[in-house]
């Protein structure tokens, strides 16, 4: 896979790779948190489409968001680049699992998440 990002090569595989990529938690703080999760869709394909339309480049995840999500007790930080700046949004762990399972099946998604979480 090409590591150089363009919106033309942004596809489901690229997003899944970013959903498995842990980022430096020092990149995350209160000021670069956004609440736009309108790109969260039912399928991985639709998430890619919505992110492309918004020009959101997926960067990775953090298991330790700087603060808890008000509506989802178990969430991760999904990190994106928007106009060359780093931002993040809370992503419920169940939704993270859902997206990975959409690509590689439930059993494999569970193994990926367990490995990332160190379980």
Q: Which of 15, 66, 21, 7 is nearest to 41 (CA)?
A: 15
Q: Which of 98, 81, 114 is nearest to 44 (CA)?
A: 98
In tens, the pLDDT along 57-115 reads: 999 999 999 998 877 778 999 999 999 999 999 999 999 999 999 999 999 999 999 99
To the question of pTM greater than 0.85 for the whole model, the response is yes
pLDDT band at 1 (very low <50, low <70, confident <90, very high): very low
- The Cα 11–Cα 87 span in angstroms is 20
């Amino acid at each position: 896979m090409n590591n150089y990002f363009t919106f033309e090569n942004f596809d489901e595989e690229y997003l899944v790779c970013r959903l498995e990529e842990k980022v430096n938690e020092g990149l995350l703080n209160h000021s670069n948190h956004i609440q736009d999760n309108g790109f969260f869709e039912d399928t991985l394909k639709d998430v890619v489409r919505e992110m492309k339309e918004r020009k959101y480049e997926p960067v990775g995840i953090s298991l330790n968001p700087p603060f808890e999500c008000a509506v989802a007790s178990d969430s991760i930080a999904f990190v994106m680049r928007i106009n060359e700046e780093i931002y993040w949004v809370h992503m419920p762990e169940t939704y993270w699992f859902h997206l990975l399972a959409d690509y590689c099946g439930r059993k494999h998604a569970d193994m990926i998440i367990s490995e990332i979480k160190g379980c």
